[in-house]
Structure 1
Amino acid sequence: MFNPSRDQVRQFFIESWRKHREKETLSQMEDIAAELVFQHPEYHALLEHPDAVERDFAPEDGQINPFLHLSLHLAIHEQLSIDQPPGIRSAYDGCLRRHGDDRHAALHELLEALGETLFEAQRSGKPLDALAYVENVRKRGKH
C-alpha cells in the first residue's frame, strides 16, 4: 500500500495544480487533485508559493490545513467511486438532496463526518469505525 510522507502529499497537490495552470498533461489522479484545488480558490495562492510544503498550520491558531482538507476530499472521492465503506454513496446522495444538488456542500458533510470519525479513532486508539462514519453521513443527509 502506498503511504506517502507529509511532504510528498503536499508536493503532489502543488505539482498537480502547477501542471493544471500550465496546461500540461496530468495523470488521472493529478486531474482529480487539480479539480479539488480549483474548487477551493482560497488555497490557490498558497499552492502557488514555493515554501508551501514547509508551512505549518496550527489548529490552535484557527488555521485549517489545506493539504489535509484536500487529502480528505481525495479520500472521499475514492470512497464514493467504489462505495467503500458500503453504503457511503447512498448516504452521500441524502446529503446531496439536502443541499439541493450542491455537490461541494454535500461533500463537505462527508468531510466533516470523516474528520470526526478519524478524530474518534485516534482519541480512542481503536480502528476507524466505518459503520459509525456511514451512519454519521446518513444523519447529516436527513437534517
Structure 2
Amino acid sequence: MAAGTLLIGYGNPGRGDDGLGPALARRIAARELPGVTVEIDYQLTVEHALLIASAATVVFADAALDADQPFYFRAIEEAGGQSLGSHSVSPPDALALARLLFGARTRGFVLGLRGACFGEMAEGLSPTALRSLAAAESFFLGWHEAEGQGLPISG
C-alpha cells in the first residue's frame, strides 16, 4: 500500500535558476521530515513511475517560467500520457505512467518556483530565486504539517 509523500525536485543546477527544484529538495531532505521521501534529478523520466507508485502523494518541484508569485502549488487534476517516451516527461505524464503500470492512486501536485536567470551556464541562484526558494520551503513545511493533521490543502 502506498504511503507518505514523495518530493521530486528536478532541474539543472548548472543552469542558474533551473536548479530551484533540486535546491528545494536538498533543503527538505536535510530536515528529515517523517513520511517524506526526497528524490533529486535533472529531469523526470519514465523510471520515476515506480517511485511515484510507492507514495500516497507526490510533489513535483521545479523552476517555473510561468509563476507570477514566488511559487505556485497546483493539483494535477488529470494525468497525462500523451507524450510518454524514454526521455524527459511532464509531471502529469509521470503520474499517468505510475497509474498505468502499477495501478497507483497517487495524488499529484506541482510546486513551481519562480526564477529569473535561466539557460546560461551558471552555478547558484539569483536573488529572485532565493526568495522563491525560502517562500516555497516555508509553504511545503506548513503543507506537510497540515497533511499530517488531515487539514485542507491550500496553495
Q: TM-score, normalised by structure 2?
A: 0.29
Which structure has the bigger radius of gyration?
1
* Greater strand content: 2
* Greater helix content: 1
Q: TM-score, normalised by structure 1?
A: 0.31
